Amino acid sequence: MMISIENDTPAVLDAFDDVSPIKSSQPQGVKELRKGTRYKASWRVAAIVEGQDLHEGKIKDISIHGAAILVGCNLNHRTSVTLHIYIPPLAGHGAPRIMIVHGITSHAIHDAYDQCFRVGIAFVKFELASACAYLDARLTKHHLEAW
């Protein structure tokens, strides 16, 4: 497997903070297509695109069904992506947990606020079967559980 590292926007790698539910309503007449509650997060992510190109970025929002990530390049619709999501510890110092999730891109747009591309990823498969339950607990209960 050949992996090349792109020069992604440094701003996408900056912030670490915990998650918070997104409480927004769609404009009148627009139907929300995402499943489940989304949570704002600034977790680091490494996206391996079609097993070759590595792009570092951060999570913009996440649910157990998918995520919006910020990266320095545009990704095509229906592209296979493997995400390595770095979930920071809730308390104190320590190494982040790395969750590996396989997914497909659903859209990509330029995010003028963050000066990079916001790419929607629909999760297809968690590398570890217990990772989905861990992510759900981490998002909804804001505490760590073993997986």
- Per-residue pLDDT averaged across 110-129, rounded? 95
Ranges 3-12, 24-33, 73-82, 105-114: which has the least confidence: 3-12
pTM score of the predicted model: 0.78
Is 56:116 a contact under the CB 8 Å cutoff?
no
DSSP H or E run through 126: strand 116-126
Domains, the chain, in order of start with CATH, read 4-19+37-140 (2.40.10.220)
Among 7, 15, 62, 58, smallest CA distance to 37 is for 62
**34-93 tens-digit pLDDT:** 567 899 999 999 999 999 999 999 999 999 999 999 999 999 999 999 999 999 987 768
Q: Please report where in the chains the tokens 């509650």 appear, as a residue.
A: 37
